[in-house]
Amino acid sequence: MSKQTLIPIGPYHPLQEEPELFKLYCDGEIVKDVKWETGYNHRGIEKLAEQKSYDEVFFLVERICGICSTSHPFAFATSVEEIVGVEITNRAKYIRTIIGELERIHSHLLWVGLAGHFLGYNTLFMWAWKYREPVLDLFEMIAGNRNNYAMFKVGGVRRDIENQKIPAIEKVLSLVKKKTDLLVGAVMDDPVFHARTKGVGVLTRQDILDFAAVGPTARASGVDIDVRRDDPYAAYPLVNWKVITAKAGDVFAKAEVRLLEMYESVFIIEQCLSGLKKEKEGDVEVKIKHIPEGFGTGHTEAPRGEVFHFVLSDGSNSPARHKIRAPSYTNIATFKKSCVGQSISDATISLAAVDPCYCCTERLAVAIDRQSGNRIMNAKEIISHSASITNKLLQHE
């Protein structure tokens, strides 16, 4: 038996910014076995949710993940509304869908950049993140925050998207579409990128079914699942779009699925915006006085796959039980198939290909000028800076 070396990826490693430990047992460059440890970042969110009122839980579940921060409130709102048995207004549905799809765009852009970074292609990394920035600015205009938008509540949304803001959103969308073309070109036409990702980390259809993988990971292997279509919620039944799938199941197919999904997201948002114009402004909320006893489930398609929430209500103002299943948890199990037998170089990009959720959404808040040493950005200046970005977006109507 040959001697195996343990190559640790994590708990702190440039590949995985989040604390997770992957133990690659290698024979030379070839990965023979992989084991992983998660749970370094356990926060007890399900238990915490039982101590908070329904309105507060939204802010809590939003912080499960910084990148897909809307998918959790989305699923939670759906499950609580199932308990109450209330149908929200069309305008609220459209707004929820817009937020969800904008989030998918920025999350996929983030992944494309990171995939480039993991392959040593830092130019792609910086470019993708530069073009992600207008989407975040858009969020700032709509919700006041770049991440953790705090848009959802039981019975609707907290803020309306006023009709006068729609042209600014449309403008950013056309920019995103143009820049996606550019990134698709950079990824799909680069022979070295092909050489690095084609046939790497292959997951067959059977593997996906065995491990119950979800989202783009499953769709890239030809498993045609998407909660948005299979169990429609919010405004998805009201708009036209198609589920993107690929056959190969390798890293390249996953990149392809994500890039093409961005076009679909843009398409969905455009239809939602035209739908929004027909609805009455300000009609975004159904007042709910009391959550009755019972249970409800809600699942939404997050950028990484299906998010599932189960809420049990005992008639009080906080959930009696709240169960969450996030997509990365099932997707990570596929590493057992996708990494074993590959070289270390291939294994790392296979690890990254399922887009395990990172919580790296910190934002610069303080700026000190070294020369004069006196300029520190305070809360007031940050707010005025934020307002100026929003104004800039609104001006070019």
Partner 1 sequence: MGTNLFYFLVYPGFLFMAVIGGLLSWFDRKITARVQFRKGPPLLQPFYDFFKLLLVKETILPARGAKGLFLSAPVFAVFGATMAGVFILLPLLNITSGFHGDLIVIFYLLTIPSLTYVMGALSSGNPLAAVGASREMKLILSYELTFLLVMVGIIIKSGQSIDLYQIIHAQQTGVPFIGSFSGVLLFIVAIFCLQAKLAMVPFDMPEAETEIAGGIFIEYSGTPYAMIKLSKYILLFILPAFIMVILMNGTKLEGINILWAVLKLVAVVLLLTLIRNTNPRVKIKQAIRFFFVWMNLLAIIAIVLAIFGL
Question: How far apart are alpha carbons 188 and 176 in whole angstroms?
Answer: 17
Closest Cα partner for 31 from 351, 332, 353?
351
Shortest Cβ distance from residue 195 to partner 1 (Å)? 6
Residue 196 CB, nearest approach to partner 1 (Å)? 5
Tokens of 191: 């022979």
Q: Which of 57, 93, 98, 116 binds partner 1 (CB under 8 A)?
A: 116
Q: How far is the CB of 78 from partner 1 (least distance, A)?
A: 37
Contacts of 94 (CB under 8 A, 6+ apart): 235, 238, 272, 273, 275, 276, 279
CB of 389 to partner 1, least distance (A): 17
Q: What is the DSSP string of 180-225?
A: HHHHHHHHHT-HHHHHHHTTSS---HHHHHHHT--HHHHHTTT---
- Binds partner 1 (CB under 8 A): choice among 40, 53, 162, 192: 192
What are the backbone angles phi and psi of residue 123, rounded to the nearest 5°? Answer: -65, -45
Does 130 contact partner 1 by CB under 8 A?
yes
345 sits near partner 1 (criterion: CB under 8 A): yes
Distances (CA, A) of 205 to 72, 195, 214, 248, 355: 27, 23, 12, 9, 19
**Where do runs of H (alpha helix) occur along the chain?**
45-49, 54-62, 71-84, 90-118, 122-143, 166-188, 191-197, 205-211, 215-219, 227-230, 251-278, 327-331, 335-338, 344-353, 379-395
d(CA 259, CA 112): 8
The verdict on 86 binding partner 1 (CB under 8 A) reads no
- Type and span of the H or E element at 37: strand 30-37
| Residues 6 or more apart whose Cβ sits within 8 Å of residue 141 | 165, 168, 389, 390, 393, 394
Least separation in angstroms between residue 198's CB and partner 1 is 12
Which of 101, 226, 346, 355 touches partner 1 (CB under 8 A)?
Answer: 346
Q: Does 185 bind partner 1 (CB under 8 A)?
A: no
DSSP for residue 33: E
* Contacting range for partner 1; rule: CB under 8 A; set: 68-76, 114-122, 136-144, 214-222: 114-122
Vertex 257 angle, CA 127 and 237, to 5°: 115
Least Å distance, CB 122 to partner 1, is 6
Is 196 or 228 the residue whose CB approaches partner 1 more closely? 196
Q: Which is nearer to partner 1, 198 or 242 (CB)?
A: 198
User: How far apart are alpha carbons 57 and 79 in whole angstroms?
Assistant: 12
Distance (Å, whole) CA 102 – CA 98: 6
CA atoms within 13 A on the CB side of 208: 24
Residue 355 Cβ vs partner 1, minimum distance, rounded to whole Å: 15
# residues near partner 1 by CB under 8 A? 32
42-61 positions binding partner 1, by CB under 8 A: none
> How many Å apart are CA 272 and CA 95, to the nearest integer?
8
The one segment of 72-80, 185-193, 307-315, 383-391 that binds partner 1 by CB under 8 A = 185-193
Residue number with CB closer to partner 1 (5 or 206): 5
Q: In whole angstroms, how close is the CB of 279 to partner 1 at the nearest point?
A: 39
300 binds partner 1 (CB under 8 A): no
Query: Smaller CB distance to partner 1: residue 43 or 194?
Result: 194
User: Contacting partner 1 (CB under 8 A), which of 28, 185, 232, 315?
Assistant: 28
Stretch 348-377 residues interacting with partner 1 (CB under 8 A): 348
Q: Which of 106, 146, 196, 322 binds partner 1 (CB under 8 A)?
A: 196
List 56, 126, 232, 341, residue binding partner 1 (CB under 8 A): 126
Contact with partner 1 (CB under 8 A): which of 182, 195, 367, 368?
Answer: 195
- Candidates 15, 312, 359, 377: give the one binding partner 1 (CB under 8 A): 15
Q: Which is nearer to partner 1, 123 or 317 (CB)?
A: 123
Q: Whole-number minimum distance, CB 2 to partner 1, in Å?
A: 14
Distance (Å, rounded) from C-alpha 145 to C-alpha 334? 34
250 binds partner 1 (CB under 8 A): no
Task: Give the CA dihedral 166, 260, 303, 351, nearest 10 degrees.
Answer: -150
Q: Contact residues for partner 1 (CB under 8 A)?
A: 5-7, 13-15, 26, 28-29, 116-127, 130, 190, 192-193, 195-196, 343-346, 348
